[in-house]
C-alpha cells in the first residue's frame, strides 16, 4: 500500500477539510489557546516540556505581522499565568520577513522582549533556503540584545550548516538541530537519507563538543541511538541538551526517550491556520496520508 499512500498524499488538497482535520488532529492541539494550554498541561504531567507554535507563515501585510506578534506576546503571558513548562517557536515569514526584514525584526524583538521579561525563551524556526541568511542575521541581532532568551534552528540537509554551526557556537547560541523538510536543489542540500543522517550526527557532535545547548530534534531511531552514544562519550549533564519531537509522532519512541532519563520537548502547534500545516505534515508522511483514504471510505459506510 506504500504507493497508494503516496498517491493519496498527492491529492490531499482535494480531500474534504473535515477528513483532513480528523486525521491531522494527532498533530495539532486545536484552534484555540485553551486547546494549547490543555495539551501542554497533559505533556507536563507526563514529564515532558513543550514548545508552542501559533500556526501561520508567509503573511502579506504589516497588519498581519503585527497581529501575529501580539498573539505571541499574549501566548507568553498565558504560559506565565498558567505556570506551564513550555517555551515558544515562531516562523519569521509569519512576522513579515518577506515583506520587510526590518519590520520582521521589530515584531520579533517585541516577542523576545516579552519572553525576557517573563523569563521564557523563543525559538526561531528555519524555513526554506531563501530565508536562511536573513533568519540567521535577525537571530544574531536579537541574541546580542537578549542573551539566552532566543535560539535558532539548523537543518542538517543543508551543506552550509557546518559553517553556520561554527558561527552560532561562537555567538553563544542555543540550537535546535533537525533534518530539514523543504525541497532544495542538490547544489545546496543533501538528498540521500544516509548522507543527511551522517551530516546530522557530525553536526550534533560539533555542537555538543563546542558546548552549545542543543535540541536533538528527530523521530529517527537511527539518530536517537547514536545521539545517546555521543552524550555518554562527552559525559554531558541533562542541562546541556534535550530531545525534541513533534506532537503525535512516534509516541512510543517519545516515551522511551523519557524513560531512558533524557529531557524531551514536544512541539505543539495550534491555531486557525491548521489546514495548511496539516497538508504539509501529511505530505511529509504518506503512511499517515493513507489514513485519509480510510477516513473517506468510513464516511460512506
Q: Supply the residues annotated as catalytic.
A: 125, 176
Nearest to 292 by CA among 14, 29, 25, 12: 12
Cell representation of residue 294? 480510510
What is the DSSP secondary structure assignment for residue 156, as one 8-state letter? T
Please give the backbone phi and psi of residue 267, each rounded to the nearest 5 degrees, phi first: -80, 120
Please give the backbone phi and psi of residue 158, each rounded to the nearest 5 degrees, phi first: -85, 135
Dihedral sign (CA 182, 188, 191, 192): negative
253/240 Cα distance (integer angstroms): 21
The backbone region for 241, taken as left when phi is positive above 0, alpha when psi lies in -120 to 50, beta otherwise, is: beta
- In the block, cell 483532513 appears at 20
185/77 Cα distance (integer angstroms): 41
176/189 Cα distance (integer angstroms): 18
Amino acid at each position: 500500500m506504500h504507493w497508494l499512500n503516496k498517491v493519496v498524499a498527492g491529492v490531499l488538497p482535494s480531500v474534504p477539510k473535515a477528513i483532513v482535520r480528523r486525521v491531522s488532529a494527532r498533530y495539532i492541539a486545536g484552534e484555540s489557546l485553551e486547546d494549547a494550554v490543555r495539551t501542554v498541561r497533559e505533556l507536563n504531567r507526563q514529564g515532558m516540556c513543550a514548545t508552542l507554535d501559533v500556526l501561520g507563515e508567509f503573511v502579506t501585510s504589516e497588519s498581519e505581522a503585527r497581529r501575529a506578534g501580539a498573539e505571541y506576546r499574549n501566548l507568553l503571558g498565558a504560559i506565565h499565568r498558567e505556570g506551564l513548562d513550555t517555551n515558544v517557536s515562531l516562523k519569521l515569514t509569519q512576522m513579515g520577513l518577506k515583506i520587510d526584514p526590518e519590520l520582521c525584526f521589530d515584531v520579533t524583538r517585541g516577542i523576545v522582549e516579552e519572553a525576557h521579561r517573563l523569563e521564557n525563551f523563543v525559538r526561531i524556526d528555519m524555513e526554506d533556503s531563501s530565508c536562511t541568511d536573513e533568519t540567521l542575521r535577525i537571530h544574531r541581532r536579537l541574541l546580542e540584545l537578549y542573551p539566552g532568551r532566543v535560539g535558532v534552528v539548523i537543518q542538517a540537509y543543508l551543506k552550509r550548516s557546518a559553517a553556520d554551526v561554527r558561527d552560532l557556537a561562537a555567538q553563544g547560541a542555543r540550537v535546535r538541530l533537525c533534518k530539514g523538510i523543504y525541497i532544495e536543489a542538490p547544489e545546496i542540500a543533501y538528498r540521500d537519507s544516509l548522507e543527511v543522517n551522517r551530516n546530522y550526527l557530525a553536526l550534533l557532535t560539533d555542537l555538543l563538543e563546542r558546548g552549545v545547548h542543543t535540541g536533538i530534534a528527530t523521530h529517527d531511531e537511527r539518530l536517537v541511538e547514536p545521539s545517546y552514544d555521543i552524550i555518554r562519550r562527552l559525559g554531558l549533564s541533562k542541562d546541556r541538551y534535550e530531545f525534541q519531537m513533534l506532537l503525535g509522532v512516534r509516541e512510543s519512541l517519545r516515551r522511551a526517550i523519557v524513560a531512558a532519563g533524557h529531557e524531551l520537548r514536544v512541539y505543539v502547534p495550534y491555531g486557525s491556520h491548521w489546514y495548511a500545516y496539516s497538508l504539509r505534515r501529511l505530505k511529509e508522511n504518506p503512511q499517515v496520508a493513507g489514513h485519509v483514504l480510510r477516513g473517506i471510505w468510513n464516511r460512506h459506510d
